[in-house]
């Protein structure tokens, strides 16, 4: 664990969970306001870096985390993404949605990191560095369990299925956006998504059945 | 097939758990501000080295590029600094316009002052750097007003900024002294990598190549994935 993690962990532990929950919500106000189908920049407007950073920080962070970047490297990856964004933003012409453009940058930066590390997962520690937002320990546990289950089921998917699943089901990118990002056609996107959903649904059903057996 | 309600709930919980906090956002903002400043400065230094071997035209071109880089920094990080609460120092920095392209290559005129406190990050302020002059003046007045209104600057960030400023001004000795102070006072600083990268670059300027190499190698081992890696790799430490 590096100093960054220690300091952030220590700080967060000192805070009431409700404050953490508020912070999480406040970290992405504009993104939420935009809604699942949003993200396209006005074609005649050049977005400003500050605006992009504020609106899409949470999106970039989650995209990197859901691609397997763990806590020790997550700061570096997200920082690198926004440095690239800072450099490339003047070239952004609005041909794609900003989210698609950003997701493509995350994709490249994460791939680069994975490549440098011999395709090993980036980072050695679990992502959750601080108590998850919630009003009770039970809720914290539930969130932690949800992350663990998601990761376990993502690991059962192919790389292509995982990517489509995360972008559509978690980040709410549309089929055409994902098709553009992954340089494939929309039918392929939906085929991958169906397969990924089946894996996820079956995994959740299995887990719930197991839990029911344990409780009875 | 579609997912059932249980699946949706798990996805929602996992999404929420992986959504960053404002502290995460402010921390990356601080690190990015420092990283971009150092990277741009390193690029400009490299530009200076090549300019000595190139024609006057090429040197002018490099200088224009350096000035453009500084302007870009001012644009992007002016916003960061405004949205952060290091307002007093930023206002002082921002009071002068970026230098026009010059015949000689200099380090960037603008290095941002990163946010001193995650808790103090206000939201919703406009990023004014590319706005028309009246808007800029208004933003600066707003900034100064906020500074006057209070909000203690983080000593840590002021110190780090001073070290950067000294290095930028061609005083690597002072940059080293200040970064050593920073190291003593904040041995577990979240900006430790950025500070130590600055130390490597300052040691190079002082021709203390062996120390730079030792520190640079340790730095690279510590931060294999840092965006500042290229700057260190291109410095005298790795030559």
pLDDT value at position A101? 93
- Number of inter-chain CB pairs under 8 A, A vs B: 154
Low-confidence ranges of chain A (pLDDT < 50): 1-23, 25, 29-30, 32-44, 121-129, 132
Q: Does B100 have pLDDT greater than 70?
A: no
Topology, domain B154-239? 1.25.40
Is there a single domain that holds both residue A14 and residue A68?
A: yes
Shared-domain flag, residues A184 and A196: yes
Q: How far apart are the C-alpha atoms of B141 and B147, rounded to whole Å?
A: 10
Contact B192 A58 (CB under 8 A): no
Spatial CA neighbour of A121 closest among A162, A84, A173: A162
User: CB of A155 within 8 Å of any CB in chain B?
Assistant: no
Pure H helices in chain A: 3-13, 17-26, 29-34, 49-66, 71-88, 98-116, 137-155, 159-165, 175-181, 186-215
Q: Are residues A18 and A125 located together in one domain of the fold?
A: yes
**Shared-domain flag, residues A85 and A161:** no
Beta carbons of A83 and B224 less than 8 Å apart: no
Nearest of B94, B146, B155, B100 to residue B125 by alpha carbon: B146
Do A147 and B80 lie within an 8 Å CB cutoff? Answer: no
What pLDDT is stored for residue B154 in this prediction? 60
Q: What is the 3-state secondary structure (H, E, C) of B45-90?
A: HHHHHHHHHCCHHHHHHHHHHHHHHHHHHHHHHHHHHHHCCCHHHH
Residues of B whose CB is below 8 A from A23: 21-23
- Interface-testing mutation among A2, A3, A51, A141, with chain B (most B C-beta atoms within 10 A): A3
Q: In terms of CA atoms, which chain B residue is nearest residue A71?
A: B18
Residues A79, B7: C-beta atoms closer than 8 Å: no
CATH number of domain containing A20? 1.10.1740.10
CB B102 within 8 A of CB B69: no
Mutate to test the interface with B, among A36, A53, A84, A129 (most CBs of B within 10 A): A53
Indicate whether A147 and A124 sit together in one domain: no
Domain containing A44: what range?
Answer: 1-134
| Largest CA-CA distance found in chain A, in angstroms, rounded | 61
Contacts of the segment B150-154: beta carbons below 8 A, 24+ positions apart: B151/B85, B151/B87, B151/B120, B152/B116, B153/B85, B153/B86, B153/B88, B153/B89, B153/B116, B154/B86, B154/B116, B154/B117
Record the tokens describing residue B34, joined without a space. 């420092």
Residues in chain B with CB shorter than 8 Å from the CB of A50 are 76, 79-80, 83, 126-127
Interface test with A, best of B21, B23, B115, B230 (most A CBs within 10 A): B21
Please indicate whether residue B128 or residue A167 has the higher confidence score (pLDDT): A167
When divided into structural domains, chain A yields a total of 2
- Tokens found for residue B154: 């983080």
Q: Are B157 and B113 in contact (CB under 8 A)?
A: yes
Q: Pick from A45, A95, A67: which is nearest to A167 by CA?
A: A67
Q: How far apart are CA B101 and CA B189, in angstroms?
A: 36
CA angle A95, A99, A100 (to 5 degrees): 55
Do A146 and A128 share a structural domain? no
Considering the domain architecture, whether residues A141 and A96 belong to the same structural domain is answered as no
When CB atoms are compared, the residue of A23, A66, A200 closest to B18 is: A66
pTM given for the model = 0.56
What was the pLDDT predicted at A50? Answer: 85
A88 and A150 both lie in a single domain: no
- Tell which of A114, A134, A154 closes a domain: A134
CATH code, domain with A144: 1.10.10.10
Q: In whole numbers, what is the pLDDT of chain B averaged over residues?
A: 62
A-contacting residues in B 188-207 (Cβ below 8 Å): 188-190, 192
Chain B contacts of A62, Cβ < 8 Å? Answer: 15, 18-20
Q: Are residues A120 and A150 in the same domain?
A: no
Closest CB to A201: pick one of B1, B15, B19: B1
Tokens read off for B135:
């808007």
Contact B7 A132 (CB under 8 A): no
- Whether residue A124 sits in one domain with residue A140: no
% chain B with pLDDT above 70: 49
Range among A136-145, A172-181, B77-86, B144-153 with highest mean pLDDT value: A172-181
The domain boundary residue, chosen from A93, A118, A134: A134
Of the residues A87, A114, A134, the one at which a domain ends: A134
Are residues A147 and A125 part of one domain?
A: no
Q: Residues 32-71, chain B: which have Cβ within 8 Å of A?
A: 32, 35-36, 39
Distance CA A204, CA A190 (A): 21
Q: Which residues of B touch A12 (CB under 8 A)?
A: 21, 23
Q: What is the pLDDT of residues B10-49, one digit of tens each?
A: 999 999 888 898 888 888 887 777 766 665 555 444 444 4
CB contacts, 8 Å: A194 with chain B: 1
Contacts of B75 in chain A (CB under 8 A): 48-49
**Domain boundary assignment for chain B:** 22-153, 154-239
Q: Can you tell me the distance from the alpha carbon of A46 to that of A59, in angstroms, rounded to the nearest whole number?
A: 20
Contact (Cβ atoms closer than 8 angstroms) between residue A159 and residue A141: no
Q: Does the pLDDT of residue B225 top 60, yes or no?
A: yes
B19 touches chain A (CB under 8 A): yes
Interface mutation vs chain A, best among B1, B2, B4, B7, most A CBs within 10 Å? B7
Distance from CA of A179 to the nearest CA of B (A): 19
CA terminus-to-terminus distance, chain A: 40
Would an 8 Å CB–CB cutoff place B221 in contact with chain A? no
Q: Are residues A56 and A101 in the same domain?
A: yes
């Amino acid at each position: 664990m590096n100093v960054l993690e220690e300091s952030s962990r220590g700080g967060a532990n000192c805070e009431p969970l409700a404050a953490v929950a508020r912070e999480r919500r406040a970290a992405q106000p504009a993104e939420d306001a935009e809604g699942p189908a949003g993200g396209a920049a006005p074609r005649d407007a050049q977005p400003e870096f500050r605006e992009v950073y504020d609106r899409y920080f949470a999106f970039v962070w989650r995209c990197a985390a859901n691609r397997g970047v763990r806590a020790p490297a997550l700061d570096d990856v997200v920082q690198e993404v926004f440095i690239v964004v800072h450099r490339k933003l003047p070239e952004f012409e609005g041909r794609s949605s900003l989210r698609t453009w950003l997701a493509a940058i995350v994709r490249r930066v994460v791939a680069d990191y994975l490549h440098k590390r011999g395709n090993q997962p980036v980072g050695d520690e679990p992502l959750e560095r601080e108590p998850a937002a919630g009003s009770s320990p039970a809720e914290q546990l539930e969130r932690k369990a949800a992350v663990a289950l998601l990761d376990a089921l993502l690991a059962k998917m192919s790389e292509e299925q995982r990517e489509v699943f995360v972008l559509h089901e978690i980040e709410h990118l549309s089929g055409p956006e994902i098709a553009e990002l992954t340089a494939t056609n929309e039918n392929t996107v939906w085929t991958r998504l169906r397969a990924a959903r089946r894996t996820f649904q079956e995994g959740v059903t299995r887990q719930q059945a197991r839990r029911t057996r344990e409780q009875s | 097939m579609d997912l059932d309600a249980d699946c949706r709930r798990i996805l929602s919980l996992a999404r929420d758990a992986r959504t960053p906090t404002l502290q995460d956002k402010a921390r990356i903002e601080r690190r990015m501000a420092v990283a971009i400043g150092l990277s741009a400065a390193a690029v400009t230094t490299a530009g200076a080295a090549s300019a000595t071997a190139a024609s006057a035209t090429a040197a002018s071109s490099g200088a224009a590029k350096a000035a453009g880089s500084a302007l870009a920094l001012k644009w992007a990080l002016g916003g960061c600094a405004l949205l952060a609460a290091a307002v007093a120092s930023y206002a002082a920095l921002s009071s002068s316009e970026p230098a026009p392209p010059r015949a000689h290559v200099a380090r960037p005129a603008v290095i941002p002052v990163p946010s001193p406190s995650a808790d103090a990050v206000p939201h919703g302020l406009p990023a004014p750097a590319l706005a028309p002059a009246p808007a800029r003046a208004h933003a600066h007045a707003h900034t100064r007003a906020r500074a006057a209104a209070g909000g203690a600057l983080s000593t840590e960030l002021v110190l780090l900024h001073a070290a950067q400023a000294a290095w930028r001004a061609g005083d690597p000795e002072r940059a080293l002294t200040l970064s050593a102070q920073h190291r003593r006072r904040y041995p577990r600083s979240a900006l430790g990598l950025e500070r130590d990268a600055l130390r490597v670059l300052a040691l190079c300027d002082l021709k203390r190549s062996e120390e730079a190499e030792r520190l640079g190698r340790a730095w690279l081992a510590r931060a294999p994935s840092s965006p500042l890696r290229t700057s260190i790799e291109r410095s005298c430490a790795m030559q």
